[in-house]
Amino acid sequence: MGGGGGVLRYPCPITSDVTTLVLVGKVGSGKRATANSILGFNAFASEYSYTSVTATCQIGSTMLSLGNAAPRTVQVIDTPGLCNMNVTTEDACKEIAKCVDMSRDGIHAMLMVFSAASRFTHEDAGTIQSIKMFFGERIVDHMILVFTYGDQVGERVWSRILNLYAIFPQETIRVCGGRVLLFDNKSSDEMQQHKQLSELFDAVDSLTTRNGGKPFSNQMFAQIQVEEKINSTIESLREQLREEQKARQEAEEKVTAAMLRSEETQKLREDLEKAREENENARQFYEKFK
């Protein structure tokens, strides 16, 4: 693709700085078509299917220039489809974690891809939770939501849908800082292609600036895992302490109850003895005056 003020792509130099994007989404979400749209060529097999085309991460790169902006090297990593019946979510997340190793300079943005032509479900919202559980809460600071099938929906209808969407997508959009885009992967209009790519990389650059220029890196991932392990250990110790405190409290309550029963028994004995004495005194008094 070319043209003044449009989208230009060049052979990708090895030594340039790299902007790395990782695409994550369910099978059939249009994730691969989006990856190919960003790269400008069919780097990844793209087809609608109920099963994932691949079970491993794949990578493609290009040198991209938008309008009068300086060329930038873009690296796109495609991940296995989430919610694939043949792959567990845990295995998919582990495979996605490999992309952290594949990205030389870290991940600048994780694109969560959903279909705008399908109803947003609790399962869709759950994909965000799965990623957060595996990568840690801070991964949302690097997330951008990309809704595909813009050719079927259109921007006007999309705006209405976005405003009328139920709680799941609204909460997901809020968690991701309102970073949400509509993509048309079938458009041959260069102005449309330029527009959506410009919006995407504006969001990526804004995100990178917001994160202090620091991408999500292997070190960050390792640090999160260590922190979560420490937090898990602390929580385990807290739970153990709570159990011990509960057991001690129950034991103290039993001792207190036993002491109360003992005191009550002693009092009953004393009252009984007193009653016997009173009865004996009464009997003697009666015998004396009989």
Per-residue pLDDT in tens (0 to 9) along the chain, 290 residues: 444 567 777 666 554 578 999 999 888 889 999 999 999 888 887 654 444 445 678 888 898 888 787 888 999 998 877 655 566 666 766 777 777 777 777 889 999 999 988 888 888 888 888 888 777 788 899 999 999 998 888 888 887 777 765 556 778 888 888 899 999 999 888 888 999 999 999 999 999 999 888 888 766 666 655 655 555 655 666 777 677 778 778 777 777 777 777 777 777 777 777 777 777 676 666 676 65
Residue 125 inside a domain? The answer is yes
> Is the domain of 105 the same as that of 161?
yes
Structure tokens of 28? 């059939």
Residue 2 inside a domain? The answer is no
- For 131-260, list the strands marked E by DSSP: 143-148, 180-182
> Is the domain of 84 the same as that of 36?
yes
Please state the domain count of the chain.
2
Q: What is the DSSP string of 98-158?
A: HHHHH-TT-BSEEEEEEETTS---HHHHHHHHHHHHHH-GGGGGGEEEEEE-HHHH-HHHH
**How long a stretch of residues is the chain?**
290
* CATH code for position 124: 3.40.50.300
Choose one of 154, 179, 214: the last residue of a domain: 214
Amino acid at 216: F
> Is the domain of 39 the same as that of 134?
yes
> Is the domain of 119 the same as that of 224?
no
Name the nearest CA neighbour of 178 among 164, 194, 162, 155: 162
Choose one of 214, 239, 257: the last residue of a domain: 214
Q: Alpha-carbon distance 212 to 23, whole Å?
A: 22
> Is the domain of 62 the same as that of 198?
yes
HSE on the CB side for 155, CA within 13 Å? 7
- Domain of residue 144 covers 7-214
Residue 112: φ, ψ to 5° = -90, 115
> Is the domain of 17 the same as that of 79?
yes
> Is the domain of 150 the same as that of 33?
yes
> Is the domain of 146 the same as that of 60?
yes
Choose one of 214, 242, 271: the last residue of a domain: 214
Name the nearest CA neighbour of 103 among 83, 79, 132: 79
pTM, entire model: 0.70
